[in-house]
Amino acid sequence: MKELFLKIVYDVREYDKYFMAKQDCTAPREDDTARILQKNAARGFPGILGSIDCMHWGWKNCPFAWQEIYKGHIGTNNDINVLQRSPVFARLAEGQAPAVNFEEETRKDVERAFGVLQQRFAFVRYLLSLDCDGSNFTDWFRHVRIFLNGGNLQFVLEAPLGPPPPPAVSEEVKNVYETRVIRYSQVQCAILCSLEVELQKRFEHHDPYELVHELKAIFETHAAVESYEASKHFFGCMMEEGSSVSEHVLAMSGHAKKLSDLGIVIPNQLGIHRVLQSLPPSYKNFVMNYNMQNMNKELPELFSILKSAEIEI
């Protein structure tokens, strides 16, 4: 996660030099103060010069000698006394600070980037890793879509980020673009974390839209082979006489699901015909009765009926 956070900080800093640390950043001049106030007002925080960010982290291997300070016991550091220890707060108390407000948790862009990342992309640790040969690309891409849909971030795969707006546009338009930059960077980092090292190196500087589309182009041949093999198994699967219909049904279900995952939808009636054709001669009467009664069942219902019929055959 450290590398992921540093990547976001770097991208945001490269986008706007405002986020570049300066040696004199604790003592802004009047023109600095005016510029910062203007930027924060445009972001929706009028009168806010800055924020003292007190994010809470669990320190798993905190040294025993420091636990009274950092592990949440009585008297340890918290949001309030961290603020009181800040040199910014000290200058305010001494009457030396500019006449502005200080807010404990102003959602600046960097905090927003990592705060959203913590909550929305906690799934990274569970996201399927894409193999270098692309053998699991279909499953991997399905995982990516599911999690992006859950975070309302699927738009990053629908179009590239695009160039920044011209300088003459309004602050609102600039802020919208800044937010998009952060969202694209978040998704890019999340996707890169799910790739093996060789793929990470290759796509490190691609935005998520370009990254996914290039991966599709690279592995589409494998996907074609995968769909061919899945359809061959589904249409070639035959139940042996005397074998378990439950195991046969399980195999047929697996082949059908694989095709569905690959984007190949089997019409229900075609699926029913294929399953009935795959049964051994001992099920001849069952097949005849099914067709004569025109049951018109869904595949899961047919599988259930077959399991019950196995007892009588």
Span 107-164, pLDDT tens digits: 444 444 444 444 555 555 556 788 877 778 878 888 888 888 888 888 998 899 889 9
User: Span 73-82, mean pLDDT?
Assistant: 53
Q: How far apart are CA 120 and CA 151, in angstroms?
A: 6
Q: According to the model, what pLDDT value does residue 280 have?
A: 93
User: Quick one: average pLDDT of 184-211?
Assistant: 88
pLDDT tens digits along 259-311: 887 778 888 889 899 999 999 999 999 999 888 888 788 888 888 888 888 87
Mean pLDDT for 12-38 is: 67
| pLDDT score for 66 | 61
